[in-house]
Each structure stands twice: as structure tokens, then as C-alpha cells.
Amino acid sequence: MAARPTRRGLLLAGAGATALAVGVGWTARDLIRPSPTRPVPPDAPAGDERVVSRPSTARGRSVDFYTAVPDGHGDGQGLPVCLVLHGASTTARDFPGLGLGRFLTDAVRRGAPPFVLAGATGDRLSWRPTGRDDPQRMVREELPAWCSERGFDATRLAAWGWSMGGFGSLLLAATWPGLLRAVAAFSPAVAPDDAVFAGVDRLRGTPLGLWCGRQDDFLADVQALERALPEPAARAEYADGGHDFRYWGSVIPAALDFVAAALAAPPGPN
């Protein structure tokens, strides 16, 4: 008999998501998909924003590779990079439609040090290896290499993700301590028995920003993660909102400011 779904297999009614039965190795956390609500981008141009196809050896297929350079900074030569890890309801091809390039330009126009956004499609694997498909290795090895080919400074990296991508960003930082100068995680799909909690001590030294809506089904677990951190989070903010871009769009400016400051700062002891 199939196992009955837990509360993690069901999203709060306001989020409009569904849980699907899939193959071995997935958890209910991976199946939560937010509603397709789009953020409202600021009144700013997107700059040099591209989506191209790149062959990924780590994933064994071609993937969409997204980059955004803030308007006024040409092709982004020499700028540091924030890796973007998507959630279950979006892929890298959706990033222009979410207005990420416009949010980036707006951040720089408000005074944030310039940087670029870069992401690739990881599908719904929760940014972990599944068989021969390894989106985590793609982010760790191939994305920085693709960024270097574009002339970006891939020695200065941060990560930003939402839901499944928030989990993936935190797991990336815990798996390779010192790789990232900061992580911004929106409503990360974490649970007390998962790999992020298991490796929480390895997050020491990486500035973390956590944002989660008070009506989000993950709120209790995100707050439990904050309490479990080996040192206080650089930012931890909770406001009214659910597991969707209506809330996440409202905190994108704060997250980009946080990432920009970390990328511009001198490297830490790691």
C-alpha cells in the first residue's frame, strides 16, 4: 500500500500547489510547488539578459543557462556572480519573465555594488544527485566555468534560491564550505531530518540571509534551522506571506542588497 501523504505533501490552500506521486528518492518537500503568481518588477531595464542552451556533462543533457548583467554595465566583464537556484515551479528559462534582470538593475541603481545573476535548469531533483543526473555538480563546477567564459569573476560567488532552490543553495554552502560568500534563501524547503540540518555546522563562516512568510508551511522548519545555525544568521526576516512569488517578490530587493554587499566585501577567513 502506498504511504499516505504527510502535511509536507500538501501546501497551504493559499499557495495553490499539488503533490504528485513520483519515483523512489523523492520526498514530499521536493513536490511542493508554489502558485504561478509573478512578482511585480521595478521600473528599471533588464540590461544584458540572456538564456542560451549549454550541454551539461554533470546532468547528461543540454540545459538552459541564464545570465543577467545590470543595465549600464555592458557585458559584465569582471563582475562577481550570484548563482540562482530555482524552485520546483520554475526553471532558468522563466527568469526573464520573473523580472530578475530588472530587479538586478534596480538594486544597482539604488546603490548596490554591481554583480551578475547566473543560473541553469536543475529540474525537480532538489539540487541533489539522482543517479547519473547531478545538478549540484553542475552548479558547483559547470556554472562557474560558463561564467568565466563570459568574463565574469567566478572567484567571487554567492547563491540565492527559493523553496527547493533555497534548500539547494544552503546544501551547496554546507557541502563546500568557503565556496560562497553568502547565501540568500527564500522559504527554503528544509526539514529537521534533512541534509541541510545534518550539515548545519558546516555553514559556519558563510553569511546567511533567511526570508520566509508567516503563512508559509515551511515557517516552523525555517525558524528551527535559524535556531540550529552555529552562528547567528546575518539576516532572518519573517513577514506576512505564503509560499509564492507574491511574497518572494516583495523581498527580492532586500536579498539582492544583501548579496551585493557580501560579494563586494573582502573575502573572509575561509
Domains and CATH numbers, the chain: 48-264 (3.40.50.1820)
| Gap between the Cα atoms of 249 and 99, Å rounded | 9
Under the banding of pLDDT at 50, 70 and 90, the label for residue 268 is low
What percent of the chain lies above the pLDDT cut of 90? 84
pLDDT at res. 266: 84
Mean pLDDT of 8-14: 34
Q: What's phi and psi for 56, nearest 5 deg? A: -110, 115
| Gap between the Cα atoms of 220 and 190, Å rounded | 10
Alpha-carbon separation of residue 59 from 23, 63, 140, 232 (angstroms) = 18, 8, 12, 35
Given the C-alpha cell 548579496, which residue does it identify?
A: 259
Instruction: Put the strands of the sheet holding 153-162 in their side by side order.
Output: 48-56, 61-69, 116-120, 80-85, 153-162, 183-186, 208-213, 235-239
191-249 pLDDT tens trace:
999 999 999 999 999 999 999 999 999 999 999 999 999 999 999 999 999 999 999 99
| Gap between the Cα atoms of 155 and 136, Å rounded | 18
How many residues are recorded in the chain? 270
pLDDT at res. 97: 96
Q: How many beta carbons lie within 10 A of that of residue 110, not counting itself?
A: 13
Mean pLDDT of 51-73: 98
234-249 pLDDT tens trace:
999 999 999 999 999 9
Q: Which neighbouring-strand residues pair with 10?
A: none
Q: What's phi and psi for 130, nearest 5 deg? A: -135, 105
Alpha-carbon separation of residue 246 from 22, 160, 212 (angstroms) = 28, 17, 12
Q: Which of 38-42, 180-184, 213-217 is predicted with the least confidence, judged by mean pLDDT?
A: 38-42
DSSP labels, 136-176: HHIIIIIHHHHHHHTT-EEEEEEEEEETHHHHHHHHHHHHS
Q: Which neighbouring-strand residues pair with 121?
A: none
